[in-house]
Structure 1
């Protein structure tokens, strides 16, 4: 019977860790500094291969982000969490979509890989202390769809349906 509260505590901690990872993905997609600050410890480090640095450098790299990447979306897959007291080692599968402005056209690309995160619990909060990105695959899908025409030949009834990294309808939805 005493094991149940410990199991429940473990489940709650794992959910806090997963919620943190989802928060960071939204923060990157929306280029939202407040969400990213809530997901990383101020003394954290990141290594994406194409960028390495401390949290302040990472934040300046992600927010406001590149105008050449007007849309991003991160899909999170399964996570393996190896808890070690107030720390946890975690691997999360990720697919990221990026609309890239390349001269006079926009292209859709997708990257598949895994986040390797060292999570730390401090004062009841779980956040990323160190992130390393591993890349498993890349796909260039070619020219992006023209959303000004709606979807599958049907026009949108309002202008807020197409997503953007900054300033799309989700900001209004969440009251930002």
Structure 2
């Protein structure tokens, strides 16, 4: 750090702004992943600017079209879980380029049986700050790997040979217990 008090003050302010901006960007990425896992249009929308676009490779379009595609989601995909890894955040004024690693689990009904499939990839997000709020202008999904683990476990039997004592322990894209938990 510089010994000059004026420089330190400006640097401290800039550093604090940078840390706060990074936290707001990460919060937005996490909110979006939760919204996608719960098929919650409000959470998803809160992460994008209204005129935003999305490119998942298998879908390309505007935010309203993306919402129609992902909410309520494909009937064949009963569970999703997006686990986020590190984010590289490059902030340039009111713009930011963000790469976030993601491991996405999907339980997919293939007709005769459900399969557990995991995709590894990265989100490339172009963020814009308006006032104090950061949201996504454009997202591109990059796919790095995919693994089909075969037939899904039958959760109706519990876990490790022990039955569940209630019906709220298994995650679902809709009707998940965590929604009730956060509702208070």
Q: What TM-score does the superposition give when structure 2 sets the normalisation length?
A: 0.94
List 4+ stretches of structure 1 deviating above 2 A. none
Superposed displacement of residue 5, structure 1: 1.8
Question: Superposed, which structure 2 residues align to 1:8-157 within 5 Å?
Answer: 8-157=16-165
CA distance in 1, matches of 2:150, 2:169: 22
Question: Superposed, which structure 2 residues align to 1:2-13 within 5 Å?
Answer: 2=9, 3-13=11-21
User: What SS does the aligned partner of 1:70 have?
Assistant: strand
CA distance in 2, matches of 1:63, 1:122: 26
Aligned residues: 176
Structure 1 segments unaligned to the other structure (5+ residues): none
Structure 2 segments unaligned to the other structure (5+ residues): 1-7
CA distance in 2, matches of 1:75, 1:131: 17
CA distance in 2, matches of 1:127, 1:152: 42
Superposed displacement of residue 4, structure 1: 1.2
RMSD (CA atoms):
0.9
Q: How far does the alpha carbon of each residue in 1:7-38 deviate from its partner, in whole angstroms, 9 at most, with x for none?
A: 01110000000000000000000000010111
User: What SS does the aligned partner of 2:156 have?
Assistant: helix
Superposed displacement of residue 136, structure 1: 0.3
Superposed displacement of residue 123, structure 1: 2.2
Q: What TM-score does the superposition give when structure 1 sets the normalisation length?
A: 0.98
CA distance in 2, matches of 1:32, 1:123: 25
CA distance in 1, matches of 2:78, 2:87: 28
CA distance in 2, matches of 1:124, 1:36: 19
